[in-house]
Amino acid sequence: MNSGRALAVLLIGAGTCAVALGGPAAADPGSPDAGRAVFADKQCVRCHLPRSERGPGPALENIRRPQGEMELAGRLWNHLPAMFASVTGKGGEWPEISIAEMGDLMAYLQADARRDAEPDLAKGRMTLLRKGCLKCHSLRREGGPVKPDLAERRSDYASAAAWATTMWAHTPRMAAMASRQGVPYPRFAGDEMANLVGLLRRVASENP
């Protein structure tokens, strides 16, 4: 059975093929003031300057605006490879960020979970397949060889901050691996990230 059919069977069996699912459990809101300090401490200010100062990265006003948390996570995913190349290409070290720091950073960037749409599992399934996630990753032992299985990463889906922290730590390496294997690096728009994570959270919650 191919990965698409296998995943469809899994979802139908769980009664989730075409229903919406609530978002992650509410996490403690981050602190915008602490997030401002994280933004400076992790050297984000070197690239993301006010529009009037024309920094090398997107202007601060473009990334610090009212937005959903998963929306921000999707935008972060899209830009991580270029950010990693910019930082390490200049001899810098890729900074480590904790879940708490990511939550504060999201608060500083005006991300609010209430602005995200309710995840749609059917659309999440289509996103999983169309973005080629299963070319590298497995979900309940269907798909690619990269470990751990996505169904076993329950803690990664606990909050948008947890998910963004995981992406921050692993996506640059994943992008390099995808490039070597000739797999296009996927981009996310709109509610695609929220739908995908909603699907993964549901499947992980039902994993034995």
Predicted confidence (pLDDT) at residue 13 exceeds the cutoff of 50: no
The CATH number of 3-21+119-205 is which of 1.10.760, 3.90.320, 1.20.1070, 3.30.70?
1.10.760
Digit-coded pLDDT (tens) for 82-103 = 999 988 888 889 999 999 999 9
Provide the whole-model pTM.
0.85
Confidence band, pLDDT 50/70/90 cuts, at residue 11: low
Residue type, 184: P
